[in-house]
A and B are shown apart, each in its own frame.
Chain A
Amino acid sequence: MRSGSTTAACAALVRRDLTLVWRRRGDAANPILFALIVVALFPLALGPEPEQLRRIAAGVVFVAILLAGLLALDTLFRSDYEDGSLEQLVLSPHPLSLLLACKIAVHWFTTALPLIIVSPLLGELLHLAEPLRGLLPLALLLATPLLSLLGAVCVALTVGMHRSGMLLALLVLPLYVPVLIFGAGACNAAQAGLPFAAPLLWLGAALVLALVLAPLACAAALRISLS
């Protein structure tokens, strides 16, 4: 049997994943609702003083989006594992890491990008400082793909487990620490009037590195879990 070209396989995979998300577009709104609720909890717990909220706004939005992404990670391979199409991907003649990179990209596009789009709203709820309005989405734009890529490796390790939620958090969060420090750090530095280019550049460098290495690691991890 002749197999099609790798490009065609990737395109088909992307089209399929996007269609699946579109058919269940109600679910796609869940991460946004979750982040919104988490952000809304902070004024309730800390009191409504704008000054106090402004100081922690960028960090809280970052953490809320990180947690929303963490909850959404589980859907990356879950349904594909259950209907067996994940095993077909592993068996396909095309490079697994490339196919997984497509899956991760679609997942980022459908879960993280909407979060970035609503991040100004989340910031506004917490009276985000004026100079951060542009910087926060930019930092998120660099940080969230990194979170998706790192998370995908850990999801690949826990794929096939029944209750992997808490365990996944334990595996993923230590890996998220540097991303959080640099992403939220850039915002805090800007808020304090300090130069903030360096952490963003570090994030960019880490993102380039992860774009190359994480799909390979993800493929290796998936082969271990499905063996």
Chain B
Amino acid sequence: MNALTLWFHKTGSPPTAYRLAGRIMPWCYGLGLVLGLVALYGGLVLAPRDYQQGDAYRIIFIHVPCAWMSLFAYFFMAANAFIALVWRIKLSEVLAMAAAPIGAAFTFITLVTGSIWGKPMWGTWWTWDARLTSELVLLFLYLGVIGLHAAIEDRRQAARAAGFLALIGIVNIPIVHFSVNWWNTLHQGSTVRLMGPSKIDASMIWPLLLMALATHVWFFGSVLARTRIGLLELDGGKDWVRAIALDDDKEAHA
């Protein structure tokens, strides 16, 4: 076994991964918080008003990064599920299942902020636009993965089954997007246009990109936090978990 595979296997073992995640996690949260606050200040205060949408457009600084994250989290989950199914790596199972609720939360925020934005802009909370519909289907896919994971007793089997579902879903996402596009344009021309990236001004784009970075970093912090819990659950009876539990016990009584 060469040095790289050895390092890989060591890092992937639950106790090491637990410690490593604990060390990286605060940095992700801290960096995400700082970047997010700067981006919010840039977006809400520094960026100019939109000549057409007024101040209402400022919700894109939450909406668009969350929409990007909703897809990114799914790809992250599916990639880890693939690794877990093919190479049977425990850590990947836990990582994939840790990403599911976070991705669902991002998808939910995207839908909610989208409809809050839609009310003043289009005069309606919801329209059966292609993008909205595929985002809604994405939310259902997430909920299916979470539901399946929660319904099976055995943690490893649950992670494998839910991971398999996530992989079926990733085949489904482009098909849904394509079919929904087709369905919508059959009935009527696209009446709703989201702001094209080329039309956006530089003073608006930097807070947007910074916020996207912040959500990514925050996502990883959150995944690591959930992974730590997942690893403790998975290895519940093992010695290293018992050592951690006893340490905590000692500190609580000291």
List the interface of chain A (C-beta within 8 A of B): 153-154, 157-158, 161, 164, 167, 170-171, 173-175, 177-178, 181-182, 185, 188-189, 194, 199, 206, 217, 220-221, 224-225, 227
Q: Does B225 contact A (CB under 8 A)?
A: no
A173 CB contacts on chain B under 8 angstroms? 140
Residues of B within 8 A of A (CB): 137, 140-141, 143-144, 147-148, 151-152, 157, 160-161, 164-165, 168-169, 172, 175-176, 178-180, 182-183, 186
Given A167-B144, A199-B182, 19 extra CB contacts under 8 A: A157-B164, A158-B148, A158-B151, A161-B151, A170-B147, A171-B147, A174-B137, A174-B144, A177-B137, A177-B179, A177-B180, A178-B179, A181-B183, A185-B182, A188-B186, A217-B168, A224-B160, A224-B161, A227-B157
The smallest beta-carbon distance between B4 and chain A, in angstroms, is 30
Q: Say yes or no: A220 contacts B164, CB within 8 Å.
A: yes
Q: Contacts A174-B169, A225-B157 hold; do A185 and B186 have CB atoms under 8 A apart?
A: yes
A27 CA / B180 CA spacing, docked (Å) = 36
CB distance from B129 to the nearest CB of A (A): 14
Identify A221's interface contact among B140, B143, B161, B176, CB under 8 A. B161
For the A-B complex, the count of residue pairs with Cβ-Cβ distances under 8 Å equals 69
The docked-state distance in angstroms from the alpha carbon of A217 to that of B167 is 10
Residues of B within 8 A of A194 (CB): 186
Q: Known contacts A157-B164, A177-B137, A189-B186; is A167 also within 8 Å of B148 by CB?
A: yes
Given A158-B151, A174-B176, verify A225-B161 contact (CB < 8 Å). Answer: yes
CA distance A171 to B167 in the complex (A): 12
Which chain B residues border A161 with CB–CB below 8 Å? Answer: 151-152
The reply to whether A154 and B165 contact each other, CB–CB distance below 8 Å, is yes
Q: Which residues of A contact B175 (CB under 8 A)?
A: 178, 206
CA of A170 to CA of B104, assembled, Å? 14
Which of B141, B143, B144, B157 has most chain A Cβ within 10 Å? Answer: B144
| Nearest CB on B from A217, distance (A) | 7
Sample of 9 A–B contacts (CB below 8 Å): A157-B165, A158-B148, A158-B151, A174-B140, A175-B169, A177-B137, A178-B172, A181-B179, A224-B161
